[in-house]
Amino acid sequence: MLVELTDKAISGSKKSEEMISKPVLSTTQFVENVTKLKNYFDQIDDFKQQIVLEAKEERKLFEEASKNLDGLKVMNKKTQEEFAWELSK
């Protein structure tokens, strides 16, 4: 029984050495994966830049709309009465 356990341990050790010595991915596959990742990161960077440009355009439109709203005069009860009085003259 001790001999069987020793043989199994030796066999397991050999298998683990074989697995460690073999590369998991081929060099070609590794390069392809890295290239794909680089392309994905480039797409993400392009998307981020597009979002920044769109956000700047929206901010500009918002500021213009805000200025236009600031230029509008809002009538409250007092100004309505004054306006009615001016019209009735």
**How is the chain split into domains, by residue range?**
22-88
Torsion 32-37-41-47 (CA) sign = positive
User: 21 pLDDT exceeds 80?
Assistant: no
User: What is the C-alpha separation between 68 and 66, in angstroms, rounded?
Assistant: 5
Question: Quick one: how far is CA 51 from the chain centroid?
Answer: 10
To the question of pTM greater than 0.85 for the whole model, the response is no
Query: What is the pLDDT at residue 45?
Result: 96
Query: What is the pLDDT at residue 56?
Result: 97
Query: What is the pLDDT at residue 1?
Result: 67
Q: How confident is the model at residue 27 (pLDDT cuts 50, 70, 90)?
A: confident
31-81 confidence digits (pLDDT tens): 999 999 999 999 999 999 999 999 999 999 999 998 888 877 777 777 778
**Amino acid, res. 71:** G
- Residue pair 25/33 in contact (Cβ under 8 Å)? The answer is yes
User: 82 pLDDT exceeds 70?
Assistant: yes
